[in-house]
């Protein structure tokens, strides 16, 4: 079946909107110091708004997915864009810290959630082949946020106070995402057929596993072992890398590395992650999404543990490049597995559910790391804990079986 070239327009739309959404949300770390100095609010209180935003994204991801399944992705994304821009505007005028936490943490976080599960679900519906590459390109667009929107926020902060920066971000969100949402289209009807993944896109079509689940209800799908395994795997996966991502700069400074150099470790992770998203997507198209995901989860566990042994800047850079390549690369593969195993009519809901698991994992990782440091005075326990969580994600992923499959799970490459 010939695929429409418009599918690549959808990929571009998803990548740009994801970049704008995540970049605007992550303007908060850039504004943390000027906000604290201007208002007297504690850094902990301001930072808590970001935690609330992650939790709101996680807890509402299934809601946005269900809205997109019922009313269409364009409706969900436009509603999210309006809510997000209004929340940023409200946060810019917040008279107190609690009001700011509600506006930015709850409402902005909820609005951002509309850009992910619905868009990923729709884009997957446009592709019969090259799904891994497509979802990786969308994810790569989101990954551009730290090198585009964050510098923009820093540049704006030189000539505007924090309230002005957030107000401008609100205008950018509305001015970019609302027009782009008009380009969103429902995917064309496609048979639930797909090239055999082990054939590397070779000749012949075979029934995809979703055929075995085609007759089930959403309730049955949400109770299925396949869904539960994906949610639990994503939770453990994100909990594995969230702690190291959040605390590694502090750890590097404890090792005697200057603050500016320590912050650059994040840049290395981010740049490596861009390559990882594309590389893992291409491998998934050739070798199968589950095989690549399982191997990546095992590699991620050892990557997190590697931080335990580093003390010098060059070693931090080396581990950051490897770790960033891996964790960024494996994240889009959950969407591919969902598309391959569940009917298109419930795609938004199922992807929202897996996003819920990942969001909760991202939310607890930093807290666990802080708790370990407060009680031990070191971050060593964090990296060991992340290693154990990573092994757990690997083992849980190994139990995944496509609907209708009785064959043993493929071993990691």
pLDDT digits (tens, 9 = 90+) for 138-190: 877 777 776 778 778 888 988 999 999 999 999 999 999 999 999 999 888 76
Coil, strand or helix: which one is 206? strand
Q: DSSP assignment of 167-224, as one string?
A: HHHHHHHHHHHHHHHTT--PPPP--SEEE-GGGTS-S-EEE-THHHHTT--HHHHHHS
Q: Which CATH number fits domain 211-398: 3.20.20.70, 1.20.1250.20, 3.30.930.10, 1.10.10.10?
A: 1.20.1250.20
- Residue 367 in tokens: 């807290």
Query: The whole model's pTM is what?
Result: 0.73
pLDDT digits over 247-271, tens only?
A: 887 788 889 988 778 777 877 887 8
With 90 as the cut, is the pLDDT of residue 398 above it? yes
Neighbouring-strand partners of residue 194: 206
The rounded distance, in Å, linking the Cα atoms of 55 and 133 is 28
User: What was the pLDDT predicted at 65?
Assistant: 86
- Please give the structure tokens belonging to residue 334: 């959950």
Name the architecture of domain 6-181.
Answer: Up-down Bundle (1.20)
Q: How confident is the model at residue 235 (pLDDT cuts 50, 70, 90)?
A: very high
Residues 341-362 pLDDT 10s? 888 778 888 888 888 888 888 8
DSSP 20-35: HHHHHHTHHHHHHHHH
SS3 state of residue 67? helix
DSSP string, 320-331: HHHHHHHHHHHT
**Domain residue ranges in the chain:** 6-181, 211-398
């Amino acid at each position: 079946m010939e695929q429409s070239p418009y599918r690549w327009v959808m990929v571009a739309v998803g990548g740009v909107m994801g970049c704008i959404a995540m970049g605007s949300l992550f303007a908060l770390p850039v504004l943390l110091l000027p906000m604290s100095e201007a208002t007297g609010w504690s850094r902990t209180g301001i930072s808590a708004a970001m935690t609330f935003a992650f939790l709101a994204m996680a807890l509402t991801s299934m809601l946005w997915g269900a809205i997109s399944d019922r009313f269409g992705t364009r409706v969900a994304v436009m509603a999210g864009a309006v809510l997000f821009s209004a929340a940023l505007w409200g946060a810019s005028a917040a008279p107190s810290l609690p009001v700011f936490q509600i506006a930015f943490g709850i409402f902005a976080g909820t609005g951002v959630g509309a850009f992910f599960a619905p868009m990923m679900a729709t884009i997957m519906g446009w592709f019969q082949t090259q799904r891994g590459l497509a979802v990786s390109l969308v994810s790569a667009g989101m990954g551009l946020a730290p090198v585009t929107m964050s510098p923009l926020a820093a540049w704006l902060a030189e000539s505007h106070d924090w309230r002005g920066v957030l107000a401008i971000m609100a205008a950018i969100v509305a001015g970019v995402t609302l027009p782009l949402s008009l380009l969103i289209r429902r995917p064309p009807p496609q048979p639930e057929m797909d090239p055999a993944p082990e054939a590397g896109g070779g000749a012949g079509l075979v029934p995809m596993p979703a055929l075995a689940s085609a007759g089930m209800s959403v309730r049955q799908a949400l109770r299925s072992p396949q869904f539960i395994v994906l949610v639990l795997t994503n939770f453990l996966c994100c909990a594995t890398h969230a702690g190291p991502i959040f605390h590694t700069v502090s750890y590097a400074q404890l090792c005697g590395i200057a603050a500016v150099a320590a912050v650059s470790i994040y840049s290395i992770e981010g740049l490596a992650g861009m390559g990882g998203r594309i590389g893992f997507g291409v491998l998934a198209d050739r070798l199968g999404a589950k095989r690549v995901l399982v191997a990546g989860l095992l590699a991620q566990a050892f990557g997190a543990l590697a931080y335990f042994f580093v003390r010098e800047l060059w070693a931090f850079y080396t581990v950051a490049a490897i770790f960033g390549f891996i964790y960024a690369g494996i994240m889009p593969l959950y969407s591919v597995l969902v598309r391959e195993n569940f009917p298109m009519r419930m795609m938004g809901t199922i992807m929202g559910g897996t996003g819920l698991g990942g969001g909760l994992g991202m939310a607890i990782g930093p807290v666990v790391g802080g708790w370990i440091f407060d009680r031990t005075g070191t971050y060593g326990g964090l990296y060991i804990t992340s290693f154990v969580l990573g092994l757990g994600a690997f083992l849980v992923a190994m139990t995944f079986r496509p609907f209708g499959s009785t064959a043993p799970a493929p071993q990691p490459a």
